[in-house]
Copies of this chain bind each other. A is one copy, B any other.
């Protein structure tokens, strides 16, 4: 099972590492981190650097292509969107986390498809003729999209259940002790206190760094 995870400048680290920690445990998984150039890629929230193991040209086709979100997602025509279209043509599954779905949309892959995104950008999916769905994980055919940042863990477990078996997903879930217990009920705009939702709506740039 070949898995290509796209990296780009100012990617969100947890969008990458949440699903990675699940998908890398798939029996037979071979994960490649793909970026315009192999080497260090700076993430958006601060000093963390991840390392791409292959350039766009070097990365071969993969069964699963995962596109994480980030502060400055590559939405304009260019090598990344070209690569993504080719990668999607060869994939069994194409997945995204957070505003990664906007990148899929910009590549023209979500026309008429149901998809999700970070709650602050969900409506922007319509610009790419996708159908926004306010759910944490949305499947439409081979396209699997997750909501904001941390949703990548839930997305990846559901992918593993479908790719391998529910028992494999459960084994991985227990291995990473994913029995979440957030100290607050504030993780979605329908649950968080109104002033906090408004604060983030009015200060979107602070979503990355308060």
Contact partner of A47 (CB less than 8 A), chosen from B49, B53, B148, B149, is B53
- Which B residues touch A89, using CB under 8 A? none
- Tell me the number of copies of this protein: 2
- Which B residues touch A32, using CB under 8 A? 47
Interchain CB contact under 8 A, B46 and A49: no
Q: Does A72 contact B (CB under 8 A)?
A: no
Interchain CB contact under 8 A, A151 and B170: no
What would 6 A/B residue contacts be, using CB atoms closer than 8 Å? A13-B20, A157-B183, A169-B183, A170-B184, A172-B210, A174-B197
Q: Which chain A residues have a beta carbon within 8 Å of chain B's beta carbons?
A: 12-14, 16-18, 20-21, 24-27, 29, 31-33, 40, 45-51, 53, 98, 118-119, 136-137, 147-151, 153-154, 157-158, 161, 166-184, 186-189, 191-193, 196-197, 199-200, 206-210
